[in-house]
């Protein structure tokens, strides 16, 4: 029997190439809903930045006024305030420049990060931040570290120190250390352009927040409170300005520079708030931008009541979670697929997931991730994610669907050790030393394409030899091992002789038995 190789036609080569391109496009596909979510978050952060700029500017104006009134008392703290402004503006402007560069790289010279067109572009942030020539990612990393160290020396409150230290941390999360990426690669490598811009906007927001906290600390140090008594303002301090639908919007409403022995009356709209310490909470069930309006009534020493109005905006967003297969964008039936699930602002231990009964199994991997083993090929498998909120409630974060496919066929090969003791896999087509052939017991089959490395159990195979007359001599293996007859024929092979391994039968982790369509040509060296 003569074994012939079928020649691949140009048309088939083109079809194969188109399939590879399609798979690459599917692997890079980013949901438009996710991109829209980034836009929403970026818009919300931009509003927060704008509000912080206004508040910080007002504080600088107060410093200017008090510097003119009492320069001897204010000079030291005024100088520190200017120092805070310089280092804050430096980091803020660096982030602004990077946003502009990413937008222009994604959309061209007229790119505008506030109206990004190619939001899904995966190359812009990588090029701008990680190109070897510019080292902008390293510069941002160094600038964040420097800013954090300087700003922490100006904050005395330990709670605020921890918040600022966390906001400007440059450590790669422990759960992602295995990715072997540094801080800048972890945040910007292959990141959609809109996601990178949103991250830089968050950094700008953190800068203005930290700047404001330092300014308040400096103002307290010069006892500016006794001057601001004539400028009393009602303040709303929300737990968060961004609220997930179904969660609570919580805020503390206080009066700045008020006597601690006298509590103001608080009104939301025209309804009096009867809570201790001015704590306010309401359930948010509809997405959108909202404003909390009200006023405080305060009695002064003469018994006269004074009204102070307040207004605070906040945003309610849809629940979001990130669910991704760690190895690919599909799940394989009968195989333990590792899946990572994360929810912004929620720790891994407070995230739960489940799939429909009869669709397979889902279990924790003990490391903050999950293992999904689907059973039904060709159907979608939905993963339902829930997260435990701070108040103990379980909040639904949505469902995420994956296509379930059958594991592809493995490739047979001969595994042996070279002269240096390194394990090699011989897949045919080239020479194999007789010594290496005689040192191995049989063949192995596995999916080994650089992404997957899944072993299959070989149940049997056949070798075909040819005598001097050109007659085929087939020999059956002993399971996955070479039979005694096969090994005897190996010993008789001379240089440049060849034989074939075919009819390989194997079974994978999905318990599906397969007759592999490929054969292995072995040429003796």
- 67-91: average pLDDT: 87
Beta-carbon count within 10 A of 12 CB: 11
pLDDT at 246: 64
Phi-psi bin for 257: left (phi > 0), alpha (psi -120 to 50), beta? left
The 10s digit of each residue's pLDDT in 416-427 is 988 888 989 898
DSSP string of 59-77, one letter each residue: HHHHHHHHHHH-HHHHHHH
List Cα–Cα distances, 340 to 55, 347, 385, in angstroms: 40, 13, 11
* Fold agreement between 232-318 and 321-405: yes
What sign does the CA torsion over 226, 227, 233, 237 have?
negative
In DSSP terms, which residues pair with 481 in a beta bridge?
442, 478
Helix (H, G, I), strand (E, B) or coil at 85: helix
Beta-carbon count within 10 A of 517 CB: 8
The residue extents of the domains of the chain are: 23-227, 232-318, 321-405, 411-524
pLDDT at 343: 81
pLDDT at 6: 44
List Cα–Cα distances, 90 to 86, 94, 146, in angstroms: 6, 6, 11
458 and 442 Cβ atoms separated by less than 8 Å: yes
The CATH class of the 411-524 domain is: mainly beta
The 10s digit of each residue's pLDDT in 144-181 is 999 999 988 888 888 888 888 888 888 887 765 556 78
- Which of 19-23, 59-63, 334-338, 382-386 has the least mean pLDDT? 19-23
Give the chain's mean pLDDT: 81
Which among 422, 424, 405 has a CA at the least distance from the CA of 414? Answer: 424
Confidence of residue 324 (pLDDT cuts 50, 70, 90): low
CA atoms within 13 A on the CB side of 250: 9
d(CA 120, CA 23) in angstroms, rounded, equals: 17
pLDDT at 225: 37
Helix (H, G, I), strand (E, B) or coil at 5: coil
Could you tell me how far CA 8 lies from the centroid of its own chain?
Answer: 41
- 39-44: average pLDDT: 76
Could you tell me how far CA 335 lies from the centroid of its own chain?
Answer: 24
In DSSP terms, which residues pair with 445 in a beta bridge?
412, 456
Specify which of 22-31, 429-438, 444-453 reaches the highest per-range mean pLDDT. 429-438
- Share above pLDDT 90 across residues of the chain, in percent, rounded to a whole number: 21
Residue 437 has pLDDT above 60, yes or no: yes
The 10s digit of each residue's pLDDT in 337-381 is 888 888 876 778 888 999 988 889 999 988 878 999 998 888 889
- 472-494: average pLDDT: 92
Long-range CB contacts (within 8 A, 24+) of 218-226: 218/63, 218/77, 218/80, 218/81, 218/84, 218/154, 219/59, 219/62, 219/63, 219/77, 221/77, 222/66, 222/73, 222/74, 222/77, 224/62, 224/66, 225/257, 226/257
The residue that leads in pLDDT, 79 or 256, is 79
pLDDT at 378: 85
Task: Select 321-405's CATH number: 3.40.50.880, 1.20.120.160, 2.60.40.60, 1.10.1040.10.
Answer: 2.60.40.60
d(CA 476, CA 328) in angstroms, rounded, equals: 37
pLDDT at 353: 93
Which among 257, 317, 309, 314 has a CA at the least distance from the CA of 285? Answer: 317
Architecture field, domain 232-318:
Sandwich (2.60)
List Cα–Cα distances, 466 to 44, 48, 486, 488, in angstroms: 74, 79, 13, 14
DSSP string of 144-209, one letter each residue: HHHHHHHHHTT---HHHHHHHHHHT--PPPGGGGGG---HHHHHHTT--HHHHHHHHHHHHHHHHH
The 10s digit of each residue's pLDDT in 270-320 is 888 887 777 788 888 887 778 889 998 877 644 567 888 888 877 676 666
The residue that leads in pLDDT, 212 or 156, is 212
pLDDT at 450: 65
Joined tokens for residue 291: 């404003």
d(CA 412, CA 227) in angstroms, rounded, equals: 83
The residue that leads in pLDDT, 452 or 395, is 395
The residue that leads in pLDDT, 173 or 432, is 432
Confidence of residue 31 (pLDDT cuts 50, 70, 90): low
DSSP string of 463-474, one letter each residue: EEEE-TT--EEE
d(CA 116, CA 105) in angstroms, rounded, equals: 11
In DSSP terms, which residues pair with 360 in a beta bridge?
374
**Phi, psi at residue 391, to the nearest 5°?**
-85, 5
208 and 49 Cβ atoms separated by less than 8 Å: yes
Helix (H, G, I), strand (E, B) or coil at 326: coil
499 and 426 Cβ atoms separated by less than 8 Å: no
Confidence of residue 328 (pLDDT cuts 50, 70, 90): low
Beta-carbon count within 10 A of 425 CB: 12
d(CA 525, CA 502) in angstroms, rounded, equals: 20
Query: H-helix or E-strand containing 36?
Result: helix 32-69
**Phi, psi at residue 6, to the nearest 5°?**
-80, 135
CA atoms within 13 A on the CB side of 194: 21
pLDDT at 229: 45
Q: pTM score, two decimals?
A: 0.40
Residue 469 has pLDDT above 80, yes or no: yes
């Amino acid at each position: 029997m003569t074994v012939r190789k079928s020649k691949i036609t140009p048309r088939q080569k083109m079809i194969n190439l188109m399939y590879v391109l399609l798979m690459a496009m599917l692997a890079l596909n980013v949901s438009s809903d996710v991109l829209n979510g980034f836009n929403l978050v970026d818009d919300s952060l931009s509003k927060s930045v704008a509000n912080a700029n206004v508040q910080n500017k007002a504080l600088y104006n107060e410093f200017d006024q008090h510097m003119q009134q009492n320069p001897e008392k204010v000079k030291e703290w005024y100088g520190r305030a200017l120092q805070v402004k310089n280092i804050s503006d430096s980091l803020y402007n660096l982030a602004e420049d990077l946003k502009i560069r990413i937008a222009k790289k994604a959309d061209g010279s007229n790119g505008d990060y506030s109206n990004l067109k190619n939001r899904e572009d995966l190359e812009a942030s990588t090029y701008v931040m990680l190109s070897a020539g510019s080292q902008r990612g390293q510069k941002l990393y160094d600038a964040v570290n420097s800013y954090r160290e300087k700003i922490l020396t100006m904050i005395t409150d330990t709670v605020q120190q921890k918040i600022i230290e966390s906001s400007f941390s440059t450590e790669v999360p422990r759960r992602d250390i295995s990715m072997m990426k540094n801080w800048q690669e972890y945040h910007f490598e292959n990141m959609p352009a809109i996601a990178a811009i949103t991250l830089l906007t968050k950094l700008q927001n953190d800068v203005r927040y930290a700047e404001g906290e330092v300014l308040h600390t400096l103002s307290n140090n010069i006892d500016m409170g006794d001057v601001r008594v004539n400028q009393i303002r009602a303040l709303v301090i929300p737990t968060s300005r961004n609220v997930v639908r179904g969660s609570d919007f919580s805020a503390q409403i206080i009066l700045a520079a008020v006597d601690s022995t006298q509590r103001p009356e608080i009104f939301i709209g025209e309804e009096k708030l009867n809570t201790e310490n001015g704590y306010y909470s309401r359930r948010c069930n509809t997405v959108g931008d909202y404003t909390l309006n009200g006023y405080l009534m305060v009695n002064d020493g003469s018994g006269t009541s004074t009204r102070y109005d307040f207004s605070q905006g906040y945003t309610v967003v849809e629940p979001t979670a990130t669910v991704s297969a760690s190895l690919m964008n599909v799940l394989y039936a009968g195989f333990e697929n590792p899946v990572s699930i994360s929810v912004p602002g929620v720790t891994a231990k407070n995230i739960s997931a489940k799939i429909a009964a009869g669709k397979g199994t889902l279990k924790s991997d003990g490391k903050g991730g999950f293992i999904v083993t689907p059973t039904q090929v060709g159907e979608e498998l939905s993963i339902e994610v829930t997260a435990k909120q701070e108040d103990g409630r379980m909040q639904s974060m949505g469902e995420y669907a994956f296509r379930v496919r059958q594991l592809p066929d493995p490739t047979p090969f001969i595994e042996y050790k070279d002269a240096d003791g390194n394990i090699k896999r011989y897949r045919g087509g080239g020479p194999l030393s007789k010594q290496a052939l005689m040192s191995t017991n049989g063949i192995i089959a596995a999916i080994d394409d650089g992404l997957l490395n899944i072993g299959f159990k070989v149940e049997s195979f056949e070798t075909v030899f040819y005598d001097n007359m050109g007659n085929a001599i087939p020999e059956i293996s002993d399971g996955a091992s070479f039979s005694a007859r096969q090994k005897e024929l190996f010993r008789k092979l001379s240089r440049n002789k060849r034989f074939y391994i075919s009819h390989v039968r194997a079974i994978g982790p999905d318990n599906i038995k397969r007759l592999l369509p490929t054969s292995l040509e072995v040429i003796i060296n």
